[in-house]
Structure 1
Amino acid sequence: YAVHNQQMVYGYLVVFANSFDYVVQRMHQFVLTLDSCAGMFVQQESLRDSNRRLQEIQNKIIVSFADMVESRDDFTGQHVKRTSEYLRILVKYLAEMPEYAKILTPEMQDRMCKAAPLHDIGKIKISDVVLNKPGRLTEDEFEVIKTHTLSGGEIIEKTLTDIESDSYLKVAQEMALYHHEKWDGSGYPYHLSGEEIPLCARIMAVVDVFDALTSKRVYKEAFPVEKAFRILEESSGTHFDPKIVGTFLAHKEEVRQVLTKYQDRHI
């Protein structure tokens, strides 16, 4: 008897018996059952492998989206990679706090880290003249820059609907739309305040600003890391959620390790 699935033969079963008819009948049933189990196993493994490959492709597309924005500014360097790593550090420790434990599940943490590179995707619609202006922006130019949040939410909805899960889509959109909202309500685009701002966006705001402070841009030099930490601390309760920025500042050494890992600027 051959143990097989479609064209793939896994082995053969040879039976030696005196009571031939009875044994052959039982062994025939056994082989049919074994064939069925082997077939289901192979199909499930093939499906899992296909899903893994599809997920890898989707992740590469997401990173490519972010790289399209990065490539327009020579000074942004490894911004999306650093912010994703800062975020992973931050959510790991926030998840240990009782008020966030049920929200920041391992699945939610992975979802946020995967969505983080898309937070600035809306900048793809901003003119290079404005985006890379070396001097201070005019009021009108700043209004143009602010539209990247709305554009980001729109791009994510149009490109990832029916490709990614609804839960991922929601997190990615919230990060893109609300990461410039401020705890005191003075941010944009909707002037949300406090816990009106989705948690993922409040977290994204901290790591995004920290990386902006410690990065060289066309309009400024990189701030020393201690000065960046001090600015975050001074902005607690106005720009940032106090609990979130406090947790970030409580783990400075891990943050510094990320800075060391990406040696594309002076700290």
Structure 2
Amino acid sequence: MTPSRPGAGLLLLLFVATAMLGACLPGGGDARAPIPQALVPADGPASRLVVVLPGRGDDIAALRASGIAPAVQAAWPDADVMLTGLGFAYYMQGRAPQRLHQEVIGPARQRGYREVWLVGASMGGMGSLMYDRAYPGEADGLILLAPYLGKRSLIDEIRAAGLARWQPGPAPAEVDADNYQRELWRHLQSWQHDAGRTGSVWLGYGAQDRLAGAMPPLAELLPEDHVVVVEGGHAWKVWSPLTQRMLAAAGPARLDQRSP
């Protein structure tokens, strides 16, 4: 089944809602060009790949400076790290998950990696969740760093009801600008019955992060020890050490989950 394609109006609304909430937004980029990529190879043979999705204004140079690649490899020395420039232009095109799959993750599988994980910060965290919705389980694990999860009124609605009892309403025929956040939460709600998914998802953020108030409904879906809250705000100086800590806790690759 081909994943539904969000329209440009959907992503325009995402831009507006994100800006209003002060959330991170990836740099623009040129969606006519391939997604920028920079491989940071492991010192030795690599059995897995960690793909990094950027936050607001992050290009490849900013991701290099963020310390995220050394943080990943300090925890997983056998991991190659792929820094990406999946900027806002790709989301505005309406095909960010598809482009990510076709240009980054699919080719990685063809190169023989036995595990592919996504690390996404803020908007990149939401991008990771959008990818999981479009291609359920295709990423072996998700590291979500203060992901943008939608407008405050929706988060308040979910928190008031409790995610287990929250009613997203009838599934629409098409995901559009009016319903994409609700449909993302419908997908997350399905994780309540998927221990295999939540067992490989980690959430980390700073206690002073401006998006911290939106994290509890997502945190409640995950094992308690998969949620890490530290002092700090909405920045890579918080996220890179968090990533190292969470990947170290995630332990060795579960290579038995995939057939050769």
Task: Point out the structure with the larger strand share.
Answer: 2
TM-score above 0.5: no
Q: What's the TM-score once normalised by structure 1's chain length?
A: 0.32
Larger Cα-atom Rg: 1
Highest RCO, 1 vs 2 (Cα 8 Å, sep ≥ 6): 2
Q: What's the TM-score once normalised by structure 2's chain length?
A: 0.33
Task: Point out the structure with the larger helix share.
Answer: 1
